[in-house]
Every structure is written in C-alpha cells, then in structure tokens.
Chains A and B, each alone.
Chain A
Amino acid sequence: SQQGEEDPQALSIQEGENATMNCSYKTSINNLQWYRQNSGRGLVHLILIRSNEREKHSGRLRVTLDTSKKSSSLLITASRAADTASYFCAQLQGAQKLVFGQGTRLTINP
C-alpha cells in the first residue's frame, strides 16, 4: 500500500490543550496536504506544505515537514470543541493522485 501512516489513530484532549498528529509517508513528495473531516461528511483542505518548506502556519495550525524522515506533523493550538474531527494527511503522487493516510480521530472534551 502507498498509504501513509498516522499516529495516534485516536486522540482525546481537553478544550484549550494543544493537539499534535503525526504522519509518515513512503515515497518522495511534491507537497503534503492536511485535511479535516467532520463525522461522515466531506473533507476540508486545511494546509499544504511544499517539499522545500519545513514549517507552515495558518491560524491555530502549524505544520512541519521533515523530508529526510518522510514525516510531517500537524499541531492545533488552543483546541476548541469544533476541532473534533478526523484529520488526514495526503500526499500527491504524480500530478493528480492524492493518497490519504489512515487518519487521526481527534476528540476535544469540554
């Protein structure tokens, strides 16, 4: 399988805490993308980091990329109940094919 691995598979934290999710991938990348999926719904694109970038920020999100280790992490700071969702990393294979990792199910407890 070309799918990446994500850990943890599930994460439960208190509102206000930070959440960190990790993603490892197998092949070289043009970019790595992170998506959020609320329960049983469509995916929402969060952030894209290119292979020549090491860190990127967007609001409360921080993504890092280590191409030597073929890994990426997504940090959500000051979590809110609305952040409860599944989070997937995805790598672009070739020009068109997006391959998703297994995902992390994040639960924010009030």
Chain B
Amino acid sequence: DTEVTQTPKHLVMGMTNKKSLKCEQHMGHRAMYWYKQKAKKPPELMFVYSYEKLSINESVPSRFSPECPNSSLLNLHLHALQPEDSALYLCASSTPRLAVYNEQFFGPGTRLTVL
C-alpha cells in the first residue's frame, strides 16, 4: 500500500465549530506532515511529527491542534477557525534515510471552507 489517505475530501464549517481532519498511511513511514495550501500558492509546512513526537511547529495558531495517535495516523483538530483559514490541507509522510527525510508522499488533501 503506497497511499496516503485523507478524510474528509471536503469540509465546510462555521467559525464556532470543532472539526477534525484525518490522515492515514500504511507504508511504515515514521514522519508525517501537515501542510496548508492557498489557491495558486505553494504548500506551506505547518507541523511535522517524527516517530509520533511533534518535531516542528511552524508557529501555527493554537486553533489548529495536531495529534499523532500512532505511527499510521495523523489528525488535525480545528476549533474557532477564521475565514482566512479556508485552504487545501495536505498530509504527507516520509521515511528517514541516513537521518535525512527525503521524498514525501502526499494525500489528496481536504478542501476546507470556513464560513
């Protein structure tokens, strides 16, 4: 299985809602990532989990809360989002070789709209 899956594909939420994005991979990768991508822009890194521990937080607002329950799963909990948080949220995974994290495998993304 060489796939990264993400659910849901689309999500519409109000500013007072709480929702979660889910990501799963079964490639045995021990690094997992969340990216945010606005229209016609490149993906921007939000968080990195390495061996189920948060290793990078790119100064993301606390209304985004990541969680890595096990080596195959990655969640992004959303609370009190703003309309400007509407974007495509991408999950990725990779495996370290010689302590360097090389090519990443991406899921199809969750298209989030905040009303």
Contacts and interface: CB of A to CB of B under 8 A. Distances in A.
Secondary structure at chain A's binding surface: helix, strand, loop or mixed? strand
Given A98-B45, A103-B42, A30 B106 contact: no
B79 interface: no
Contacts, number: 63
A96 B49 CA distance: 10
A59 interface: no
A42 B90 contact: yes
Interface in A94-110: 95-103, 105
A95 B100 contact: yes
B42 A40 contact: no
A32 B55 CA distance: 22
Contacts of B40: 105
Interface residues of A, number: 24
Nearest to A40: B88
Contacts of B90: 42-43
A64 interface: no
Contacts of B107: 42
B76 interface: no
Contact of B111 (A3, A40, A45): A40
Give the one of B6, B50, B92, B100 with max A CB within 10 A: B100
Given A30-B100, A95-B99, A96-B55, A44 B43 contact: no
A92 B48 CA distance: 13
Contacts of A25: none
B102 A99 contact: no
30 contacts: A3-B42, A31-B100, A31-B102, A41-B108, A41-B109, A42-B90, A42-B106, A42-B108, A43-B90, A43-B104, A43-B106, A45-B103, A45-B104, A45-B105, A45-B106, A48-B102, A92-B100, A92-B101, A92-B102, A95-B96, A95-B99, A95-B101, A96-B31, A96-B55, A96-B101, A97-B45, A98-B45, A98-B101, A99-B45, A100-B43
